Amino acid sequence: MEEKNRNVKLFPIYKMISWDLLFFYAIIFLYLVQVKNLSAPQVLLAEALYNVAIILFIIPSGKIVDKIGKKNSVIIANASISISVIVILLMNQFYHLIIAYSIMAFGYSIKTIAENIILYESIPSGSKRGRIFSLIDGKASSYYYYIDAITSIATGFLFTVNPHIPIVLCLIMCIISTILSIFL
């Protein structure tokens, strides 16, 4: 029971940090083109392949979650996303980006399945369970949107100082997400 109460309290903070990649999307195209010297068509192709990879990983992800459990799945998913950001930081070839986006797609396909189940199962059964879930999830989503707006603004400034800073900050947020997922 104590673990479930902790999950309910921790979930909004966890989702705020881990729902999507903070410090990433505002500059990733520029980062890949200007810093990693990829062409615009290569970046767009990689983005398209990322979406295809998510579709391909959805069915096996459900089986993985069933086999290893929701908590372990979320931990593995967050670790995978962290690894994908490391690959992006270290990459110097187009195929490295394909590998990074494949790992990221694997992680996000698992997260999509497992995260909300953890919250839902942490709320006591009853007629208000769905309402409580919606309130907590909505609160967590609003926190995410606030922090995403702030980090998106900061990302542009940080990119001009050093283009690696936003990606490193994104990695730090991914690592924090992985650590928080251990406590869900």
**CA pair distance 160, 123, nearest whole angstrom:** 44
Tell me: pLDDT of 184 over 90.
no
What pLDDT does 167 receive?
Answer: 97
Q: What does the pLDDT read at residue 157?
A: 94
Separation in Å, CA 81 to CA 69, 88, 97: 18, 11, 13
Q: What is the identity of the amino acid at 53?
A: A
Q: Kindly write down the DSSP assignment for every residue of 25-65, as one continuous string.
A: TTTHHHIIIIIS---HHHHHHHHHHHHHHHHHHHHHHHHHH
Q: Which of 114, 178, 122, 136 is nearest to 3 (CA)?
A: 122
DSSP summary character for residue 34: I
High-pLDDT (> 90) share of the chain, %: 79
Report the Cα 3 to chain-centroid distance in Å. Answer: 23
Residue at 76: amino acid letter: I
Which pLDDT score is estimated for 122? 86
Quick: pLDDT tens for 71-129. 999 999 999 999 999 999 999 999 999 999 999 999 999 999 999 888 888 888 888 88
Q: What average pLDDT does the chain have? A: 93
pLDDT, residue 1, reads: 66
Residue 148: which pLDDT band, with cuts at 50, 70 and 90?
very high
pLDDT at residue 147 above 90?
yes
Q: Is 0.85 topped by the overall pTM?
A: yes
Cα 172 to Cα 180: distance, rounded to the nearest angstrom: 12
Q: Which of 19, 6, 1, 49 is nearest to 151 (CA)?
A: 19
